[in-house]
Amino acid sequence: MADARERYVFIKKLAEGGMADVFLARDVMSTPPRLCVVKQLLPDLRSKKEHVGMFLDEADLAVRLAHPNVVRTIDRGTSRDGPFLVLEYLAGYDLDLVIERLRDVGGRMPWQLAVQIIISTAEGMAYAHALTGNDGKPLNLVHRDLTPSNIFLTFDGVVKVLDFGIARAEERRTRTSTGMLKGKARYLAPELIQQLPGDGRVDQFSLGAALYESLALRPLFSGENELAVIHAIIESRRPSLIDQRPDIPPEVDAVFRKMTARLREERFASMNEVARALKAVMPPEDQRPALSTFVRQQFGADFEAHAALMARLASASTSELRAYFEKGVNLTDALSDPSRLAKTQVVVNQQIPVEARRTPMAPVTLELPDEAPPAPRPPTPAQPKPLLSVTAEEPQHVPAAKPLRLPDELPLGVEGAGGAPDLVEEPPTGPRLWLVAVGLVVLVVVGALAVRAFSGKPPVVARGALLVRSQPPGASIQLDGVAVQFRTPAALPDLMPGQHTIVLEHPDTLGATTTALVVSGAQQTVDLVLPPKEGLLLFAISPPDAIVTVDGREVALDGGLGQSSPLDTGVHDVEIRAMGFMPKAMRFDIVDGARVPVELTLEPDPAAP
């Protein structure tokens, strides 16, 4: 099996991501030799089929992508060190680092440059969304991690989309498990959080959040933890962009608000529409020179060091570079003072050279339980453990102390129970005096509960509440089969803990039924999107320039993808035609709320010239 390092001479480890090591390398078989970036699956993941499949999925997608605003893939393969991916080398910084630098120095980005970054990103993603497979069928590619750390700005003013590692496409080997969210929490679209089917408008939402952050220099959605951020997204608590940046045109604020609308139907139909809307408010001058100057000004010293480093790399021999890498020498130090190589016998550090961008934050993976968990029990103090000697050479695992625990149910008030229940105890490992003290405390608590039980007074149970909201609002509510006088949004207080069934009805929708778990002493929020009674036809047509009409009205398609306007119940006529192909006529019987996929490849017209 071939070794990636035979063709690609590794110069320096740049970063370690969630799945792969990233190396700066030189392609010695290219003429002239060129710098590149090699991604290699982490050693501890190479035996795990799921992770290997995800990495190969990224490689399969990457080699299909060829657009000026998407990072270019040069090569891929499998070697003794596992699968690898070779990308073009980009000199510059990701948008996340630029935003961080501006915050640190109290600066801000001219709105024209921020908008140009979003336009270029939207054009790259419009291309990716329209990508087709070898069979000509749409891949329905969705990036799902279109965040500032994956939008790269080169020193030449070029914008590139990075890292399709967690993208979703029809031809992927792996699928995200139900109940799993992949991506960085504050950029996730509401439908992704709610586990609804996603399309390119998921990326549009994330890009709108990046637009806000580029201009306001703060996240669009924030909170004390990721759960709070998710609630802010679901509730669409968006601050005003124009309040943060009064200098921007109102049209930019309007585009931002449409991109980040809570309902995807209210967003732009495609990334091409986003780019067109933003271009309409931009000055006619090419913004790339200004963007190049801006990035170089923010990182002036780094840019000069990078230029000197590139000049030295051009003259360094392959054996010299290989020796630097094998001994772990800091690349910048070694090239400026080659005598360091002779003095270095071990890996001296793992610093990232100035030309490398920071390791991106690993995507957040959130487990979404089917129901809210019960309130946790107060933790019992852990037994103390003797201190262990830990050395740097051989780390030791310190096992957690095993606490005293009570049985799941206490047989209080049961005839013949014979007093307080027995305690279930783990094997003791701490001082006996500590156990005796805890045992006394437990017996006091159990005794108090027993007194309450035998006194005939039931224990007080703290009740909970539900906040029920719907889209559209104004739905009637049934709780456990009983009509509630309020309509959504409505707070339902004083509910017993446990599962409750909620039925929502709205005259313009099909309604919805769900269950919610009420937690003692807490308020839970229930958000439901009610499907409309009107149906839709969802088109995936080849060739992508085909013209589709429904009942004589043309459907707007983007690369062969699109959907009809809402359709009433009944029969609807569809015609599809394209130059050089045989036309196709079909009829669909739409029932309430039906979403009918229409996937069709037109046959070539043999009579066409």
Domains and CATH numbers, the chain: 4-296 (1.10.510.10), 464-529 (2.60.40.1120), 536-601 (2.60.40.1120)
Write down the mean pLDDT value for the chain. 74
State whether residue 403 is helix, strand or coil. Answer: coil
How much is the pLDDT for 167? 53
More confident residue, 138 or 167: 138
Beta-sheet pairing, 464-471 with 523-529: parallel
Mention every residue, 6+ apart, whose C-beta is less than 8 A from residue 373: none
Backbone angles phi, psi at 503, to 5 degrees: -120, 125
Element (H, E) at 577: strand 570-577
Number of Cβ within a 10 Å radius of residue 6: 10
**182 vs 170: CA distance, rounded Å:** 17
Judge if the upstream peptide bond of residue 543 is cis by omega within 30 degrees of 0. Answer: yes
Show the beta-strand stretches assigned E in 80-230. 82-88, 92-94, 151-154, 159-161, 180-183
Amino acid letter, 363: P
The candidate with the shortest Cα–Cα distance to 364, out of 176, 552, 516, is 176
pTM of the model: 0.55
Question: Which structure tokens are listed for 122?
Answer: 């939207």
pLDDT at 388 over 70: no
How much is the pLDDT for 3? 61
How much is the pLDDT for 181? 42
**Which band of pLDDT confidence, cut at 50, 70 and 90, is reported for residue 510?**
confident
Degrees to nearest 5, angle at CA 301 with 295 and 303: 50
Contact 494, 528 (CB under 8 A): no
Judge if the upstream peptide bond of residue 403 is cis by omega within 30 degrees of 0. Answer: no
How much is the pLDDT for 63? 78
Backbone angles phi, psi at 38, to 5 degrees: -110, 125
State whether residue 322 is helix, strand or coil. Answer: helix
Q: Helix, strand, coil proportions of the chain in percent (round to 5)?
A: 30, 25, 45
Contact 154, 90 (CB under 8 A): yes
How much is the pLDDT for 346? 25
Element (H, E) at 493: strand 490-495
More confident residue, 273 or 521: 273
Judge if the upstream peptide bond of residue 472 is cis by omega within 30 degrees of 0. Answer: yes
Place of tokens 């930019």: 252
pLDDT at 476 over 80: yes
Amino acid letter, 402: K
The candidate with the shortest Cα–Cα distance to 436, out of 460, 406, 412, 404, is 404
Compute the average pLDDT of residues 225-250.
Answer: 88
Compute the average pLDDT of residues 554-572.
Answer: 84
- Write the pLDDT tens digit of every residue in 409-419: 323 223 333 33
State whether residue 572 is helix, strand or coil. Answer: strand
pLDDT at 203 over 90: yes
pLDDT at 502 over 80: yes
The candidate with the shortest Cα–Cα distance to 32, out of 303, 315, 304, is 315
**251 vs 262: CA distance, rounded Å:** 19
Number of Cβ within a 10 Å radius of residue 88: 13
Q: Is 537 exposed, middle or buried, given 0-12, 13-18 or 19+ CB atoms closer than 10 A?
A: buried
pLDDT at 550 over 60: yes
Compute the average pLDDT of residues 390-396.
Answer: 32
Task: Report the b/e string of 401-411 with b at 16+ CB within 10 A.
Answer: ebebebeeebe
* Minimum mean pLDDT range among 91-95, 148-152, 190-194, 389-393: 389-393
pLDDT at 537 over 60: yes
**486 vs 67: CA distance, rounded Å:** 53
**79 vs 533: CA distance, rounded Å:** 54
**Which band of pLDDT confidence, cut at 50, 70 and 90, is reported for residue 18?**
low
The candidate with the shortest Cα–Cα distance to 271, out of 198, 186, 184, 207, is 207
Judge if the upstream peptide bond of residue 489 is cis by omega within 30 degrees of 0. Answer: yes
Compute the average pLDDT of residues 354-369.
Answer: 35
**What's the gap between Cα 71 and its chain centre?**
19
* Minimum mean pLDDT range among 161-175, 238-252, 449-463: 449-463
Compute the average pLDDT of residues 517-531.
Answer: 82
Compute the average pLDDT of residues 263-276.
Answer: 95
**94 vs 84: CA distance, rounded Å:** 22
Residue 116 backbone class (left: φ over 0; alpha: ψ -120 to 50; beta: rest):
alpha
The candidate with the shortest Cα–Cα distance to 215, out of 121, 102, 122, 293, is 102
How much is the pLDDT for 227? 77
Backbone angles phi, psi at 21, to 5 degrees: -85, 145
Contact 603, 582 (CB under 8 A): yes
